[in-house]
Structure 1
Amino acid sequence: MNRRQWAVAAVAGLAAAAGGAGLAWWRRPAPADAADTAALWSLRFDTPDGRTLEMQALRGRPLVVNFWATWCAPCVREMPELDRFHQRFGPQGWQVVGIAIDQQAPVQEFLRKVPVAFPIALGGYAGMELVRALGNPQGGLPFTVVLGRDGTVRHRKLGETSFAELSGWADATTM
């Protein structure tokens, strides 16, 4: 390669790196403040079986909140991982709640095929607003938030999570 080709390759490489850094910055979750998490505890959601889930009832213990939808492939793949986490860490005080950004009928059908032991809520529009308030301004799914016993956000992830990742967060989060 001559000097000009090296210069073009170097500029292209720097542009690609800058583009990647910009994309990572754009996709990063925004910080949630105390007012946003305070609003979480006042919310009430319908459940697929017609009951009401009051978020206030989940306050005071560490909590994993997972926003998902039946039409979201990564959400569907991670549901058994969340259930496994709930089964393993629930006896240690951990709670899990799934907030479906979806309609009741598809959620009911999904849960018949893939039952989970943790509560599922129907988030609708309020659920998407909560996703944004908790630090995901783009509203992408799946989105997982880990709250400590004191209600502060300890971890957030936009994208598919796993039992190993959730377990690591549980170990790193003081109850």
Structure 2
Amino acid sequence: MRGQVVLVNFWATSCSGCMQEMPELIKLQQKYGPAGYKTLAIAMSYDIPEYIQNYRQRTELPFIVSHDKDGSLAKSFGDVALTPTSFLLDKNGKILKQYVGIPDMNELNQLIQGALKS
């Protein structure tokens, strides 16, 4: 995903905050996707594969959805344990901002716009 601005979002189907932020993440993907923005939604290791698939199909998520079955992705981002946790990465893969909990969407929009321009 080098060359693109990426939001890596750790989530779970059992997380109410995650479910609350998903419509906003969908809007971000639809708004900035054509300009080179991607959302990567990573379901936590403890999440149930059938629940992930059902949610994905029901909501028609317009971004990449993955299941961190062994927890290695969460570990690689500093042992993510709380959901939702999101990392905004610039075009070179550098972390611009980490959010624990639901992001401030106004701030996130501004950061994405700035990262897409650079």
TM over 0.5: yes
In structure 1, what residue type is equivalent to 2:36? G
Contact 2:74 2:80 in 1 (8 A): no
Choose the corresponding residue for 2:88, options 146, 149, 156.
146
Find out whether 1:103 has 2:48 as its counterpart.
yes
Looking at structure 2, the residues matched to 154 and 75 of structure 1 have their Cα atoms a distance apart, in angstroms, of 21
C-alpha deviation, 1:163, in angstroms: 4.0
Residue by residue over 1:129-150, the C-alpha shift from the partner in whole angstroms, topping out at 9 and shown as x without a partner, is: 1342xxxx56211011011111
Find out whether 1:117 has 2:62 as its counterpart.
yes
Q: What does 1:1-40 align with in structure 2 at a 5 Å threshold?
A: none
C-alpha deviation, 1:164, in angstroms: 2.7
Find out whether 1:91 has 2:63 as its counterpart.
no
Say how many residue pairs are matched.
114
Which residue is 1:82 aligned to?
25
Choose the corresponding residue for 1:128, options 61, 74, 84.
74
- Work out the percentage of aligned pairs sharing the same amino acid: 26
Structure 1 segments of 4 or more deviating over 6 A? none
Looking at structure 1, the residues matched to 109 and 80 of structure 2 have their Cα atoms a distance apart, in angstroms, of 26
In structure 1, what residue type is equivalent to 2:61? V
Looking at structure 2, the residues matched to 138 and 146 of structure 1 have their Cα atoms a distance apart, in angstroms, of 14
Question: Could you say which structure has the larger radius of gyration?
Answer: 1
Gaps of 5+ in 1: 1-57
Residue by residue over 1:52-89, the C-alpha shift from the partner in whole angstroms, topping out at 9 and shown as x without a partner, is: xxxxxx22211111010000100111111111000000
Gaps of 5+ in 2: none
In proportion to residue count, which structure has more helix?
Answer: 1
In proportion to residue count, which structure has more strand?
Answer: 2
TM score, norm. by length of structure 2: 0.86
RCO comparison, higher one (Cα < 8 Å, 6+): 2
* Cα distance change, pair 63–100 in 1 and its aligned pair in 2 (3 A): same
Contact 1:131 1:143 in 2 (8 A): no
- Does the residue aligned with 1:151 lie in a helix, a strand or coil? coil
Over the aligned positions, Cα root-mean-square deviation in angstroms equals 1.7
In structure 1, what residue type is equivalent to 2:95? V
